[in-house]
């Protein structure tokens, strides 16, 4: 049974401004780097076998910070872990989207990556990891929208109502009949005080 630890990247300036990032390559801001350092400190005390990351700089930098604490981990980049393509909304705020396309902007044909494409690339990655690393523990650093959709595909009856928090940790055990989520959207490392 393979275990996947999903980690969302640290915060960016666009996250704070409420701008849709999608496949736009937005870097971590200073706070995002600090968040990545905190999740790295947490993961350092856990046993993992390999770390995969999205190629987008906000996820890749988060993964690099985690990997610095665990230099023996294989470090792999996989484009299938990139964020959902947002089409024309990338770089815009909710207010700007409403002004441009109206309150029903989500129903417009404005270049969103199709749902089936997102799930297909995510499940393709999962199947490859299960085959390559049976019984291993794999860290995956990716993006909130992508992780959220992949969780719903892996655990269709799961209750994952909340948005995925920056640097949150979600742990899924891949099993033959039914996948199990042991930890969801955990950000305890951000609340811990420095000593």
Helix residue ranges, H only, the chain = 13-17, 30-43, 57-69, 94-101, 115-132, 144-154, 188-191
Is 143 in the active site?
Answer: no
Query: What pLDDT score does 97 carry?
Result: 95
Structure tokens at 148: 């959220």
The pLDDT confidence band at residue 192, using thresholds 50, 70 and 90, is low
Question: Mean pLDDT across the stretch 29-46?
Answer: 96
Tens digit of each residue's pLDDT (9 = 90 or more) over 64-123: 999 999 999 999 999 999 999 999 999 999 999 999 999 999 999 999 999 999 999 999
What is the distance between the alpha carbons of residues 195 and 46, in angstroms, rounded to a whole number? 20
pLDDT value of residue 194: 54
Q: Which domain does 159 fall in, by range? A: 2-191
| Tokens describing residue 111 | 């270049």
User: How far apart are the C-alpha atoms of 15 and 19, rounded to whole Å?
Assistant: 6
For position 143, which CATH number holds? 3.40.50.1240
Residues comprising the binding site for substrate? Answer: 8-15, 58
Q: 149, 119 in Cβ contact below 8 A?
A: yes
Inform me whether the pLDDT recorded for 17 exceeds 90. Answer: yes
**Region for 21 from its dihedrals, namely left if φ exceeds 0, alpha if ψ lies in -120 to 50, beta otherwise:** alpha
Structure tokens that stand for 60 in this block: 């890749």
pTM of the model: 0.95
Our count of domains for the chain comes to 1
The pLDDT of residue 161 is above 90: no
Choosing from 37, 83, 90, 113, which is the catalytic residue?
83
């Amino acid at each position: 049974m393979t275990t996947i630890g999903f980690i969302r990247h640290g915060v960016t300036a666009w996250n704070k401004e409420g701008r849709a990032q999608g496949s736009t390559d937005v870097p971590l801001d200073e706070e995002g780097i600090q968040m990545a350092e905190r999740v790295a400190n947490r993961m350092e005390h856990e046993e993992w076998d390999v770390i995969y990351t999205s190629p987008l700089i906000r996820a890749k930098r988060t993964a690099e910070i985690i990997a610095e604490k665990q230099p023996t981990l294989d470090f792999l980049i996989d484009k299938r872990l990139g964020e959902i393509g947002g089409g024309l909304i990338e770089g815009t705020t909710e207010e700007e989207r409403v002004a441009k396309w109206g309150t029903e902007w989500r129903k417009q044909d404005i270049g969103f990556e199709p749902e089936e494409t997102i799930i297909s690339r995510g499940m393709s990655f999962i199947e490859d990891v299960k085959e390559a690393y049976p019984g291993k523990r794999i860290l995956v650093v990716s993006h909130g929208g992508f992780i959220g959709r992949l969780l719903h595909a892996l655990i269709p009856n799961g209750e994952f109502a909340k948005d995925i928090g920056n640097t949150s940790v979600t742990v899924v055990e891949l099993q033959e009949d039914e996948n199990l989520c042991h930890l969801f959207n955990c950000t305890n490392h951000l609340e811990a005080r420095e000593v």
